[in-house]
């Protein structure tokens, strides 16, 4: 931690540094300021909203219902804001984030276009030194990393990508200015949630669209609709009570969750339930039986049902067959929600390229080469995913006690306690991060739960005169055992996805998220607090430096 005098002059001494101004960072900033702490947030983007700031590709839309995907901590906010659609567009969610930031007067304490480069613990001072790529230096007692699970795009790992002379866009770094796509020859690489949403829209703009699909995804009909004002009024009237309930559900939302295992339901009734879910809201398919993520044979029934629907929609049997996912259980990779995705493959201007049998060999100045033939393109859209869960944290040089690096600690996979604290990294917190439910739960409610829990922990420290908290190694080990146990019961670790890290070459294969649901996770966290913050070591007032001075004085 070499620093010059000039460096020291520009150090800004604060209580809390929050990294990220997505929904987690925004709430963390608000809550820390509310408790009277001098708090600064830094954000790599040019505005608030995190993922919704960056992912502004055509068709970008949330796959969680808007009545759930919004802050619950302020009834004033949830009464004042009115969503227009069941599943809202990226632009409306971004507007909401800006509305909240204005309402809470957050902008004055967020420095935009500022990316954390290093976060280092000073053992002597028991404080964090945070440096940014833009040259800022902060000296903070606490550091909260709200960097999001899906914020580092994987990029285009295909030879020749730099040679392309047309327009190449990453879905997760979509330009702010209007991109003209009408009448162009477009190629979309990737068919996860982002790719599926893009394809469903640009198919209607392109002169010709090639969809480069490697692993097919299961996609379910979103059945989006305008909000009925009477429904909105009903929700608003009962919002606070409703939130109390949804916070303790598996997903953190109003999606149905059943206690009935699939085979407990007679076949006719079961089929009617599947049809009804498909007709009304595809995501209900995940919740109408209790064992779809636990029992492969039950899962197979729903997977077959969806494969059947793909076959009914897509007219060309060969194309339909290629679109049907076969290698993984349904829901083991996050299901996509779409609006007429499979339908676009009936259009004459859409061609599916099966990259499992014919991978993209390379990108050329004029297009891409597949099976030895060049497909000419004006635009390539890469929806190739993210270095998820750990990518953003590990892109920062984080060093804890005695200079120990997080990268080394996590070489074999992420290790933390409750997904909020890391042994060896005192007074450093993460929100909605790896080792918690993260992207498996309603992201906004999870962030609220995490920030509230951290806030309560700080209350406890204040009440007991502690100034430093650190997770113990034993607690971390036990927590990881719990995560592994929950994962072992789930089908989710079976797929090659960003959940398991297999989408990034060289990343260790793990299933690092808490698969027990938001409600159970919240109870686990509450229990830790009730047991006097079991699994944490606390230190009081004096820093080691001061303690050493005291010891010297006493000795003399
Ligand atoms: P993703 O699910 O990881 O999908 C990436 C896609 O790119 C996969 O189909 C992958 O194929 C393909 N791919 C990667 N490299 C490739 C290559 N070299 N050649 C050909 N294909 C390649 O990423 P995502 O679609 O951005 O979604 C990530 C997550 O973000 C989602 O699961 C969801 O949680 C969230 N999300 C949500 C929404 C929403 O709320 N509606 C929208 C977008 C994203 P392989 O699988 O074979 O690697």
pLDDT band (50, 70, 90) for residue 1: very low
pLDDT tens sequence across 442-457: 999 999 999 999 999 9
pLDDT of 553 over the 70 cut: no
Cβ–ligand 1 contact at 54 (below 6 Å): no
Of all protein residues, the one whose alpha carbon is nearest to atom 36 of ligand 1 is 193
pLDDT of residue 281: 87
The pick from 148, 384, 388 for probing ligand 1's pocket by mutation, whose C-beta has the most ligand atoms within 8 angstroms, reads: 384
Q: Kindly write down the DSSP assignment for every residue of 434-478, as one continuous string.
A: TTSSGGGS-HHHHHHHHHHHHHHHHHHHHHHTEEEEEE-HHHHHH
What interhelical angle do 23-34 and 443-464 show, nearest 10?
30
Percent of the chain with pLDDT over 90: 94
Cβ–ligand 1 contact at 442 (below 6 Å): no
Helices assigned H by DSSP within 247-316: 267-280, 296-313
Can you read off the two tokens belonging to residue 119? 């976060």
Average pLDDT over residues 89-107: 98
The atom number, within ligand 1, closest to the CA of 384 reads 7
In the reported structure, the alpha carbon of residue 171 is separated from the centroid of ligand 1 by a whole-number distance in angstroms of: 10
Task: Give the C-alpha separation, 230 to 228, whole Å.
Answer: 5
pLDDT of 61 over the 90 cut: yes
Can you read off the two tokens belonging to residue 34? 């509310």
DSSP element (H, E) containing 103: helix 90-103
pLDDT tens sequence across 186-204: 999 999 999 999 999 999 9
Task: Give the C-alpha separation, 301 to 291, whole Å.
Answer: 11
pLDDT of 295 over the 90 cut: yes
**Radius of gyration over alpha carbons of the chain, in Å?**
24
Cβ–ligand 1 contact at 262 (below 6 Å): no
> Is 127 within 8 Å of 400 (Cβ atoms)?
no
> Is 177 within 8 Å of 381 (Cβ atoms)?
no
Average pLDDT over residues 313-323: 98
Cβ–ligand 1 contact at 377 (below 6 Å): no
Cβ–ligand 1 contact at 90 (below 6 Å): no
Average pLDDT over residues 541-553: 62
pLDDT of residue 179: 97
Cβ–ligand 1 contact at 215 (below 6 Å): yes
Cβ–ligand 1 contact at 150 (below 6 Å): yes
pLDDT tens sequence across 272-282: 999 999 999 88
pLDDT of 541 over the 70 cut: no
pLDDT of 223 over the 70 cut: yes
Of all protein residues, the one whose alpha carbon is nearest to atom 31 of ligand 1 is 193
pLDDT of 554 over the 90 cut: no
pLDDT of residue 164: 98
Comparison of pLDDT for 554 and 109, the residue scoring more? 109
pLDDT of 546 over the 70 cut: no
The atom number, within ligand 1, closest to the CA of 360 reads 19
Cβ–ligand 1 contact at 212 (below 6 Å): yes
> Is 40 within 8 Å of 463 (Cβ atoms)?
no
Cβ–ligand 1 contact at 430 (below 6 Å): no
Task: Give the C-alpha separation, 482 to 514, whole Å.
Answer: 8
Average pLDDT over residues 81-98: 97
- CA angle in degrees (0–180, nearest 5) for 538-541-546: 120
470-506 burial, b if ≥16 CB within 10 A, otherwise e? bbeeebbeebbebbeebbeebbbbbbebbbbbebbee
Cβ–ligand 1 contact at 63 (below 6 Å): yes
pLDDT of residue 282: 85
pLDDT of 485 over the 50 cut: yes
Task: Give the C-alpha separation, 112 to 115, whole Å.
Answer: 8
3-state helix, strand, coil in the chain (%, to 5): 40, 20, 45
pLDDT of residue 556: 65
The atom number, within ligand 1, closest to the CA of 334 reads 32
The atom number, within ligand 1, closest to the CA of 385 reads 23
pLDDT of 6 over the 80 cut: no
In the reported structure, the alpha carbon of residue 260 is separated from the centroid of ligand 1 by a whole-number distance in angstroms of: 31
pLDDT of 315 over the 80 cut: yes
Cβ–ligand 1 contact at 221 (below 6 Å): no
Q: Identify the residue whose tokens are 């297009």.
A: 367
pLDDT of residue 548: 64
pLDDT of residue 543: 59
pLDDT band (50, 70, 90) for residue 80: very high
Q: How far apart are the first and last CA of the chain?
A: 32
Average pLDDT over residues 370-383: 98
Q: Which residues pair with 537 in a beta bridge?
A: 470
pLDDT of 3 over the 60 cut: no
Cβ–ligand 1 contact at 384 (below 6 Å): yes
Query: Any idea of the CA torsion for 322, 327, 329, 334, to the nearest 10 degrees?
Result: -70
- Average confidence score pLDDT of the chain: 95
Can you read off the two tokens belonging to residue 428? 């450093």
Phi, psi of 386 (to 5 degrees): -135, 155
- CA angle in degrees (0–180, nearest 5) for 532-533-535: 125
Task: Give the C-alpha separation, 470 to 421, whole Å.
Answer: 7
CA 257 to chain centroid: 22
Average pLDDT over residues 50-72: 97
Sign of CA dihedral 98, 99, 102, 106: negative
In the reported structure, the alpha carbon of residue 371 is separated from the centroid of ligand 1 by a whole-number distance in angstroms of: 23
Sign of CA dihedral 515, 518, 519, 520: positive
pLDDT of 550 over the 60 cut: no
3-state secondary structure (DSSP) of residue 520: helix
Cβ–ligand 1 contact at 62 (below 6 Å): yes
Greatest C-alpha distance within the chain: 90
The helices-and-strands tally (H runs, E runs) of the chain is 16, 21
Average pLDDT over residues 175-182: 96
**Pick from 48-57, 379-388, 473-482, 534-543: least confident:** 534-543
pLDDT of residue 4: 58
The atom number, within ligand 1, closest to the CA of 193 reads 25
In the reported structure, the alpha carbon of residue 505 is separated from the centroid of ligand 1 by a whole-number distance in angstroms of: 15
The pick from 148, 220, 385, 496 for probing ligand 1's pocket by mutation, whose C-beta has the most ligand atoms within 8 angstroms, reads: 385
Contacts of residue 309, defined as CB under 8 A and 6 or more positions apart, other chains included, come to 278, 342
Task: Give the C-alpha separation, 257 to 276, whole Å.
Answer: 15
In the reported structure, the alpha carbon of residue 165 is separated from the centroid of ligand 1 by a whole-number distance in angstroms of: 24
Task: Give the C-alpha separation, 320 to 314, whole Å.
Answer: 5
pLDDT of 410 over the 60 cut: yes
pLDDT tens sequence across 105-142: 999 999 999 999 999 999 999 999 999 999 999 999 99
């Amino acid at each position: 931690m070499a620093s010059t005098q000039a460096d020291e002059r520009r150090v800004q001494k604060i209580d809390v540094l929050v990294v990220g101004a997505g929904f987690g960072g925004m709430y963390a900033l608000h809550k820390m300021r509310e408790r009277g702490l001098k708090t600064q947030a830094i954000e790599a983007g040019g505005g608030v909203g995190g993922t919704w700031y960056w992912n502004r590709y055509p068709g970008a839309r949330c796959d969680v219902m808007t009545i759930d995907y919004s802050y619950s901590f302020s009834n004033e906010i949830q009464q004042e804001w009115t969503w227009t659609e069941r599943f809202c567009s990226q632009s409306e969610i971004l507007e909401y984030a800006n509305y909240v930031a204005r309402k809470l007067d957050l902008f004055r304490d967020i420095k935009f276009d500022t990316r954390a480069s290093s976060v280092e613990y000073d053992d002597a001072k028991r404080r964090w030194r945070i440096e940014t790529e833009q040259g800022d230096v902060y000296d903070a007692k606490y550091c909260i990393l709200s960097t999001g699970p899906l914020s580092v795009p994987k990029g285009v790992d295909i030879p020749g990508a730099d040679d392309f002379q047309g327009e190449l866009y990453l879905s997760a770094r979509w330009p702010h200015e209007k991109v003209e796509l009408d009448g162009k020859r477009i190629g979309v690489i990737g068919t996860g949630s982002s790719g599926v949403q893009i394809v469903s829209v640009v198919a209607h703009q392109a002169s010709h669209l090639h969809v480069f699909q490697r692993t097919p995804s299961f996609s379910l009909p979103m059945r989006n609709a305008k909000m009925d004002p009477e429904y909105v009024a009903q929700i608003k009237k009962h919002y606070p009570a409703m939130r109390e309930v949804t916070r303790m559900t598996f997903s953190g939302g109003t999606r149905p969750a059943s206690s009935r295992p699939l085979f407990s339901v007679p076949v006719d009734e079961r089929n009617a339930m599947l049809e009804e879910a498909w007709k009304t809201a595809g995501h209900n398919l995940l919740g109408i039986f209790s064992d779809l993520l636990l029992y492969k044979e039950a899962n197979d029934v729903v997977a077959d049902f969806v494969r059947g629907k793909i076959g009914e929609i897509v007219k060309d049997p060969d194309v339909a067959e290629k679109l049907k996912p076969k290698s993984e259980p349904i829901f083991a990779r996050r299901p996509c929600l779409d609006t007429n995705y499979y339908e676009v493959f009936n259009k004459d201007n859409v061609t599916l390229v099966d990259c499992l049998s014919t991978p993209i060999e390379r990108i050329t100045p004029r297009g891409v080469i597949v099976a030895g033939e060049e497909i000419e393109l004006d635009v390539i859209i890469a929806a190739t995913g993210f270095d998820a869960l750990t990518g953003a944290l590990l892109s920062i040089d984080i060093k804890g006690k005695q200079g120990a690096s997080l990268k080394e600690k996590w070489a074999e996979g992420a290790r933390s306690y409750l997904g909020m604290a890391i042994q060896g990294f005192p007074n450093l917190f993460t929100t909605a991060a790896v080792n918690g439910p993260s992207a498996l739960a309603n992201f906004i409610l999870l962030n609220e739960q995490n920030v509230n829990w951290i806030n309560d922990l700080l209350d406890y420290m204040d009440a007991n005169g502690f100034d430093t908290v650190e997770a113990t190694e034993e607690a971390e080990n036990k927590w990881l055992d719990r995560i592994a146990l929950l994962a072992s019961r789930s089908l989710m670790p079976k797929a090659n996805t960003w959940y398991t890290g297999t989408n990034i070459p060289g990343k260790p294969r793990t299933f690092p998220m808490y698969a027990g649901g938001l409600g159970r996770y919240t109870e686990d966290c509450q229990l830790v607090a009730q047991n006097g913050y079991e699994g944490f070591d606390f230190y009081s007032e004096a820093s080691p430096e001061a303690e050493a001075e005291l010891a010297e004085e006493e000795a003399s």
